[in-house]
Amino acid sequence: MPACFPARRAARLFALSALPMLAALPCAAQPDAYPSKPITIVVGYPPGGSTDLNGRTLGAELSRKLGVPVIIDNVGGAGGAIGAQKVANAAPDGYTLLVGASNEIAINRLVSSAVRYDLKDFTPIGLIAAQPMVLVASQKSGVKTVDQFISLVKQNPGKYSYGSSGVGTALHLAGEMAKDQGGLFMTHIPYRGVAPLANDLLGNNIDFGVFVLSSGLPHIRSGKVVALGTTEAKRSPLTADIPALAEHPKLKNLDINIWFALMGPARLPEPVVAKLKTALNESLKTPELRKKLEDSGSTVSSPNVDMTKFLNQETAKYKRIVDFAKIKE
């Protein structure tokens, strides 16, 4: 018998003994098997808001497309940053995802030194939908049009104020963009959410305010506040009777909205990303999803958006506004 036989036999025995260990490797290492268990979608806000609506509506469709349960995990706090950080820290296996808005994905890190994550900590999967904001006037202000708004504020620099749902929110940035482009001097009043802002506008305790369109519509339709204009470049299909602020020559470059995206942790395997993108694009075509989001004031995204280009453009836009307004917490 050759002297090398014991070594060869040992090698064979080692290979055989390794087979059970290979079989026990987790599914995360086998992207073709994905998904094989429930997927969690983190939403960085309490139930009931626009981000939660997008998360739950998409989650139901993804569950049907992928054949596994999709669980919504509401992790509120810090303007969505706590939920986003949870996903950034999650294992890159495709079982923990984020449905986030522009605030927690792109804006928070520009305005708060407490935010530790960056875009590089996520894998972009795709856009879900976008929704404009709307600039409104209180009944007490007597303002009915964008032209009247600009004239009044310009003639009385520093006298008037506008409210938003908080410092560094997309609503705040929309107001600052209008100030920048219109050459306006007015004070920003941050509120702890939309409800107290609405109370002060309806009670004529503040002159102007910025709402997400879906939040402002009930007050606009009831006649309790006056809609001056929406914040996207073109009118919203849901509110064709409300002009876009960009229709005014002094605000012609004003174009900002709130968008919602599906994101995963960094380093998601490409086969997993491909399956999620396919499921997302198929979900965005379903009539049920489209109707639910469009009824809320959103425009459903086109499929296959170049997310890297989109996020870079949006971040650059937000940074210009943040620098203009000197917003930093």
> Are 34 and 272 a contacting pair, CB within 8 Å?
yes
The whole-angstrom separation of Cα 162 and Cα 152 is: 13
The residue among 36, 68, 86, 119 whose CA lies nearest residue 314 is 119
Please, where are the H alpha helices in the chain? 5-23, 50-66, 81-88, 102, 108-111, 146-155, 170-182, 194-202, 213-221, 270-283, 287-295, 307-325
Task: Give 144-172 pLDDT, tens digit per residue.
Answer: 999 999 999 999 999 999 999 888 999 99
Task: Look at residue 269 in the predicted model and tell me its pLDDT.
Answer: 97
Considering Cα of 118, then 121, then 123, then 129, what sign does the dihedral take? negative
Task: Look at residue 71 in the predicted model and tell me its pLDDT.
Answer: 98
Q: How many residues does the chain have?
A: 329
% of the chain beyond a pLDDT of 70:
90
Distance from chain centroid for Cα 67: 25
User: Where along the chain do the CATH 3.40.190.10 domains lie?
Assistant: 132-251
The whole-angstrom separation of Cα 165 and Cα 44 is: 16
For the domain spanning 37-130+258-325, the CATH number is: 3.40.190.150
DSSP secondary structure code for residue 244 in this structure: B
Q: Tokens standing for 286?
A: 């379903």
DSSP, collapsed to helix, strand or coil, labels residue 71 as strand
For the domain spanning 132-251, the CATH number is: 3.40.190.10
Low pLDDT (below 50) residues in the chain: 1-29
User: Where along the chain do the CATH 3.40.190.150 domains lie?
Assistant: 37-130+258-325
Task: Look at residue 4 in the predicted model and tell me its pLDDT.
Answer: 43
Task: Look at residue 25 in the predicted model and tell me its pLDDT.
Answer: 44
The whole-angstrom separation of Cα 170 and Cα 23 is: 48
pTM of the model as a whole: 0.84
Burial class (CB in 10 A: 0-12, 13-18, 19+), 247: middle
The residue among 58, 51, 56, 57 whose CA lies nearest residue 79 is 51
Residues contacting residue 112 through CB under 8 Å, at least 6 positions apart: 78, 79, 81, 168, 328, 329
